[in-house]
A = this chain, B = another copy of it.
Amino acid sequence: MTSPEAREKAVLEAVGERRELVNEAIPEELPITRPERLYEASRYLLDAGGKRLRPTVLLATGEALADVEPLSTPYREFPTVEGPSKTVDLMAAAVSVEVIQSFTLIHDDIMDDDDLRRGVPAVHKAYDLETAILAGDTLYSKAFEIMLETGAESDRTVQALHVLANTCTQICEGQSLDVSFESREDVTPEEYLEMVEQKTAILYAASAALPAILLGADQDTVDALYGYGLDVGRAFQIQDDVLDLTVPSEKLGKQRGSDLVENKQTLITVHAREQGVDVESLVDTTDVDAVTEAEIDDAVATLEDSGSISYANDKARDLVDRGKNRLEVLPDNEARELLLQVADYLIERGY
Contacts of A180 in B (CB 8 A): 35, 37
Contacts of A175 in B (CB 8 A): 134
Q: Mark A119-154, 1 if CB is under 8 A from B, else 0.
A: 000000000011101101110111011001000011
Check if A157 is an interface residue, CB within 8 A of chain B: yes
Out of B154, B166, B172, which one reaches A134, CB within 8 Å? B172
Interface size on A, residues (CB 8 A): 41
Cα–Cα, bound, A131→B175 (Å) = 10
Out of B34, B145, B154, B172, which one reaches A138, CB within 8 Å? B172
The answer to whether A172 and B130 touch across the interface, beta carbons within 8 angstroms, is: no
Contacts of A134 in B (CB 8 A): 107, 111, 172, 175-176, 179
Check if A81 is an interface residue, CB within 8 A of chain B: no
Check if A28 is an interface residue, CB within 8 A of chain B: no
Cα–Cα, bound, A67→B56 (Å) = 51
Query: Within A308-334, which residues are at the interface with B (CB < 8 Å)?
Result: none
The answer to whether B138 and A137 touch across the interface, beta carbons within 8 angstroms, is: no
Cα–Cα, bound, A35→B165 (Å) = 18
The answer to whether A168 and B137 touch across the interface, beta carbons within 8 angstroms, is: yes
Cα–Cα, bound, A134→B137 (Å) = 11
A126 to chain B, nearest CB (A): 16
Contacts of A177 in B (CB 8 A): 35
Cα–Cα, bound, A110→B164 (Å) = 26
Check if A299 is an interface residue, CB within 8 A of chain B: no
Ordered by A's residue number, 23 sampled pairs between the chains whose C-beta atoms are within 8 Å are A35-B173, A37-B180, A107-B133, A107-B137, A110-B133, A111-B130, A131-B176, A134-B172, A134-B179, A136-B137, A138-B173, A138-B176, A141-B165, A141-B166, A141-B167, A141-B172, A144-B144, A144-B161, A145-B166, A145-B169, A148-B158, A153-B154, A158-B161
Q: Report A's interface with B, CB cutoff 8 A.
A: 34-35, 37-38, 107, 110-111, 129-131, 133-134, 136-138, 140-142, 144-145, 148, 153-155, 157-158, 161-162, 164-169, 172-173, 175-177, 179-180
15 additional contacts, CB 8 Å, given A138-B173, A153-B154, A158-B161?
Answer: A35-B173, A35-B177, A107-B137, A110-B129, A131-B179, A134-B175, A134-B176, A134-B179, A138-B169, A138-B172, A141-B167, A141-B172, A145-B166, A145-B169, A154-B154
